[in-house]
Structure 1
Amino acid sequence: MVDVVVVGAGSAGCVLAGRLAERGDRSVCLVEAGPASTLPDVTSAASLAATAPDHPLNWAYSASLIRGRVVRVPRGRVVGGSSAINGAYFVRAVPQDFADWAVPGWGYADVEPYYSRTATDLDLGYGTGPLRVRRPAGRFLAPVTPAFLAACESLGHPAEPDKNAGGPPGWGLVPSNAAEGVRISTATAFLPAPWGAAVPPTSVPPGGSGPSTTHPRGLDVRVGVRALRVLFEGSRAVGVETTAGVVRADTVVLAAGAVGTPHLLLHSGIGPAAVLRTAGVPQRVELPVGQGWSDHPSVYLPFRWPGPPPDPDAVAGQAALNLDSGSDPAGDLEILLFARPFTPDGPVHLMCALQRPESRGDLTITSADPLAPPRLDYRYLRTEADRRRLRAAIRTAADVLRAAGLERDGPEGFVLGNDRRLDGWIQQVLTTSVHLCGSAALGRVVDPDLRVLGVDGLRVADTSVLPVAPRRGPAATAVMIGERAAALL
């Protein structure tokens, strides 16, 4: 029996559990299906190895993006979650995202203090949190990055000096939760040893804090333990059934991510009647769990860089051009420079993504077995507006490459210039940015205090609560949600 059980030691869960334990006024159990790891695949800021479908630190969910296009979607299965395996892109959602959501208590002014508490910007000197944020510089600045930025400027796109300042979209370096070549996950920053690793020595601006060095007696981290369902007595959550037995708690918080959390809710009887009936799970509460979520459809545009490669410790995602397709001044398109090839001797890439899609996806379960994976149907590019704007992102990226004097590896000009041919090429190479949000959304599944509607003692704290995917990647926002959830508790 504990005061709080947090399910999922990921981007939000580590923050929440660490912050609660620091207070010392309650016992906290953090349950994680994956291991704690200090493999180079986790610690190296340059490595994306753990995102490969067959990597043991990755859930690798099967997902349908469009008809005939099935891919594996990486999600971190390790202490630190996706913050331990992703590209270390650490950019806040823009103020307009929160204005669009219009959730009481979740305006940008409401959440900004929680963003600031999570991280310290070592370049610009703001924030007070244990995460380290830096932009590529010195030996960590890839040789191709200045060429990309100069090309964006030459085409008349405005500069965006700090992508975490909430200003108009433009080109600029991408802030990363990495320092001196080391990826700093939320486990590293918010959990004590042995679950967190050492943060590399760096200068901290006045007012900034160092890594968590306390060993709170009230924190119990259980790795290699998978949660199966939430347990109830009447309408109140009283604990979690796991592969290692039952953990009883006064408060249950699901922080298993935007796939894992709705999967657990559905297997706990919280969700649409039709979905639960098909799976053979008795319904407890009717809520639109797993319905109407969004993510960022994206395409990699390969090109050849004839110059020297980046430093072995440099992050791959170095710079981005965020821009308005013509219908969104806050910036509904993103072109992200990946300065490192995905395969030896392969091309480097510009990732062209639609950041404000109209398309919505569904997550369902097809079996009463909680170990069976969920079914993910993204339903990307269902509208002409989505298809038109993704074409615009690709064509803008091709313009950037031309302005930089770089050779594009595809598609050919006769494809790029024709809408129907370009749509055909997109269908063959379409992927996802893995930014799923809204599968247990604020206002639909949880209230502004992150409490699940219709039950007591159960909350959600991860990107599943964001009504739609924000216009920037949600990694920093996931960390903010963990910080805010700790305050709400």
Structure 2
Amino acid sequence: MPVIANPSELDRQTFDFVIVGAGCVLANRLSCRYRVLLLEAGTRTHDDLVESRVPLLNSRLKNTEVDWKLQSVSQPNADNRTIGIPLGKMLGGSSAFNACLWHRCSPSDYDAWHTNGWTYKDLKPYFCKAESFHPAHDVHGTSGPIHATDLEINPESLGHYFRRACQNTGLPDYDDLTDKPCQIGVTHVQSSIYQGERSSTGACYLPKDILERTNLTVAMGCHVTQILFNDDQADKVRFNHHDHDYVVHIGREVILSAGALFSPFLLLKSGIGPKDELARHGINVVVDLPGVGKNLQNHWRIPLVHETIKPEMSLHRDLFINTEATLKQALDQKTGAMTRIWPDAVAYMKIK
């Protein structure tokens, strides 16, 4: 069925699979055979928001209703400041909200997990299954739901000269870093943009024909607060909608797809985590699992602004000269500066 208007109708119903968060991929695949409920805390979709569809407008979504507006704890090494953590709160999660950079980690990063079934060689078929890459390339998929593209660089652009500068320092230059064992080098940017619009998981995995499946239910504005257990088996999911609590029953499994922060947070609230920490917060222990909520690693983002003596080399000069016309071009023709992403090129280098 389409996105339901009144999630309270779900109370006490049973679903084979209950998916919490931005689990659009699994909602698509599992609903071929099973009765599936997707519970999404946000209330907006990719199609609702021009700021989501037009790639270069994504910064306007920060600190709005589609951002969880999270703040870090005080950071001793950053002058004790708290740092904002943008996180998408809408169908498709941060894929409808982010900078549209389309990039895999170094194969060595996956291999360093030393986990059977999770090496880069194991995972690569699934990366390829997700994408339709334009133009076709032997290290990318060509028939997946997410459309991704190579960003063309004007030979007179700042990105072109940036690549040349990196080469002059000895940094390797690649047309595609994707399959390099250790991704040290400079390259042009690949993006989850196609024909001038963002490709988000919500739009690509849950198009109209999928949403109309009778055994798929998508409920928006539903904030999951706890997984309930019967002995050691996940039995129910409790969620809040408009300040009222409801419960749905789990026929087979509950799937946490709430991201790197909210998935462990929900596990902890449900009694799965380090027992001493749970006890401090008055949470009954279901499973003593010390690793839950630990070892979060996030990358730094430090913007640096440089001035060029050639204004025509500006990354997005058109935005500042005639913003209204540039937006109209993006909406009507799916072309122009707003249909690109901020960087033209990207370099990965050792800092030590």
Answering whether residue 155 of structure 2 is matched by residue 148 of structure 1, we say no
- Between the two proteins, the alignment pairs up a number of residues equal to 301
* In structure 2, distance between residues paired with 1:170 and 1:121: 21
User: What is the one-letter code of the residue matched to 1:185?
Assistant: S
Distance 1:262 1:241, change over 3 A: same
Tell me which residue corresponds to 2:19. 6
Residue of structure 2 in register with 1:84 after alignment: 96
Structure-1 separation of matches of 2:52 and 2:43: 12
Distance 1:90 1:180, change over 3 A: same
Q: 1:298 is paired with a residue of what secondary structure?
A: coil
The corresponding residue for 2:344 is 318
Deviation at 1:167, TM superposition (A): 4.5
For 2:128 and 2:185, locate their aligned partners in 1 and report how far apart those are by CA, in whole Å: 22
8 Å Cα contact 2:153-2:159 kept in structure 1: no
SS at match of 1:106: coil
Determine if contact 1:83/1:185 at 8 Å carries over to the other structure.
yes
Q: Distance in 1 between matches of 2:247 and 2:156?
A: 49
Distance 1:190 1:248 in 2: 25
- Give how far 1:122 is off: 0.7
Q: How does 1:62-81 map to 2 (within 5 A)?
A: 62-64=71-73, 66-67=75-76, 68-81=80-93
Residue of structure 1 in register with 2:323 after alignment:
none
TM-score, normalised on structure 2? 0.80
- The change in CA–CA distance for 1:213 and 1:284 in structure 2 (over 3 A counts) is closer
**TM-score (normalised: structure 1):** 0.59
Contact 1:89 1:317 in 2 (8 A): no
Which has the larger share of helix?
Answer: 2
Letter in 2 for 1:98: Y
Structure 2 alignment gaps of length 5 or more: 1-13, 317-336
Aligned to 2:234: 237
| Structure 2 counterpart of 1:257 | 259
Residue by residue over 1:414-443, the C-alpha shift from the partner in whole angstroms, topping out at 9 and shown as x without a partner, is xxxxxxxxxxxxxxxxxxxxxxxxxxxxxx
Q: Which deviates further from its counterpart, 224-233 or 273-282?
A: 273-282
Q: Structure 1 pair 65/131, CA: closer, same or farther in 2 (3 Å)?
A: farther
- Matched to 1:103, the amino acid is T
Tell me what 2:190 maps to.
Answer: 175
Distance change (3 Å), C-alpha of 1:138 and 1:144: closer
> Which ranges of structure 1 fall in alignment gaps of 5 or more residues?
194-211, 326-388, 393-489
**What residue in structure 2 maps to residue 33 of structure 1?**
41
- 2:311 corresponds, among 299, 307, 313, to 307
8 A contact 1:49–1:55 mirrored in 2: no
Q: Distance in 1 between matches of 2:205 and 2:21?
A: 14
Deviations 1:104-135 (A, max 9, x none): 11111111110011001112344121101112
Distance 1:73 1:280 in 2: 27
For 1:187 and 1:65, the matched residues in 2 are separated by 33
Distance 2:302 2:88 in 1: 22
Q: Deviations over 1:378-397 (max 9, x none)?
A: xxxxxxxxxxx4xx5xxxxx
Cα distance in structure 2, aligned partners of 1:36 and 1:164? 32
Classify the secondary structure of the residue corresponding to 2:104.
coil
Alpha-carbon distance between aligned partners in 2 of 1:280 and 1:213, rounded to the nearest angstrom: 42
Aligned to 1:133: 148
How far did residue 157 of structure 1 move?
1.1
Q: 1:70 aligns to what SS in structure 2?
A: coil
1:283 aligns with 2:295: no
> Match for 2:164: what amino acid?
A
Cα RMSD of the aligned pairs, angstroms, is 2.0
Alpha-carbon distance change, 119 to 70 in structure 1, aligned in 2, over 3 angstroms: same
* Residue of 36, 43, 48 corresponding to 2:58: 48
Q: Distance in 1 between matches of 2:277 and 2:157?
A: 51
Deviations 1:315-336 (A, max 9, x none): 113321112x2xxxxxxxxxxx
Percent of paired sites with the same residue = 29
Q: Which amino acid aligns with 1:159?
A: D
Judged with a 3 Å threshold, the aligned counterparts in structure 2 of structure 1 residues 96 and 167 are, in CA distance, closer, same or farther, namely: closer
Q: Is the partner of 2:303 in helix, strand or coil?
A: strand
AA of the residue aligned to 2:26 = L
